[in-house]
Structure 1
């Protein structure tokens, strides 16, 4: 974890690991769906799908048109999409997983009301000593050591795992001490009744509700 970081600095390892994780979650979702009583009906819809109708729906939706199932063939096509969502929803980064997140956010808003705060957080890993310590190979951190910008950039860019660990560490501290979640004291914004956090590439956001 600290000195030997051959997997953290391997350029291919994160891609291979994420790909295997997606395959695993897809397979798990497929097995769970196959064990349900409605699997026979799902198989029947897949085998008898109306291909011209499906192509027409795809072309209309690609053009930006809002399409609703009117005919029986169109309804079967949309039902197939819902069936596949049971599998796709378990895959990280998929369109269905993002749709489920939006549903969760709307559920929180319906239960607790509209958010009082929208907070954007972007911890700068290239300038923080903790991130540099995670990315380095020294087991002991020396405070007097001040690497130049090129050295810091090299450390962070060659170890994405260190950046992820640093981001998780900072966000966990923010949720606990700033929002007061799981702490003995209220947050600096008062009592936080609910919060929902999403992570985007180059844009990390935490939405809180008082």
Structure 2
């Protein structure tokens, strides 16, 4: 819902300057019913079929316009913007000498199940105690806050290094 709200607030369209007059004329002349009909066809995966000349114009309009959503986190435009930023950093600073991707798989972690309130002895974990993907997926969907806390815990445990001689319990992080 939040991403849809961001899309509605921050989406813009871009077209070539030479095509702007034609695009604006087509966009202003298209009826809302035709736009809805074409949007429904596109939603179903059909981007070719047009039943009228007006629908053909709307499909042509869709090919002419580029949707810009770079300021909406998680959108395709946002990913492209981040990739371009990474490329710029590579041009300025050179290629990275070390690259790492961390993937905290919450749907397989007994720690998340423990954080959600299940009684698990993590120190003596048996194979049958490891959560199954389906039940863990349901747990994650019902407890998104626990999933977020697990992610934060996992990433902080990865980034920080325990200091020698101090208690570095991961399940009770000090804020």
Question: Normalising by structure 1, what TM-score?
Answer: 0.42
Larger RCO: Structure 1 or Structure 2 (Cα < 8 Å, ≥ 6 residues apart)?
A: 1
TM-score, structure 2 as length reference: 0.49
Q: Give the structure with the larger strand fraction.
A: 1
State the structure with more CA Rg. Answer: 2
Q: More helix by proportion, 1 or 2?
A: 2
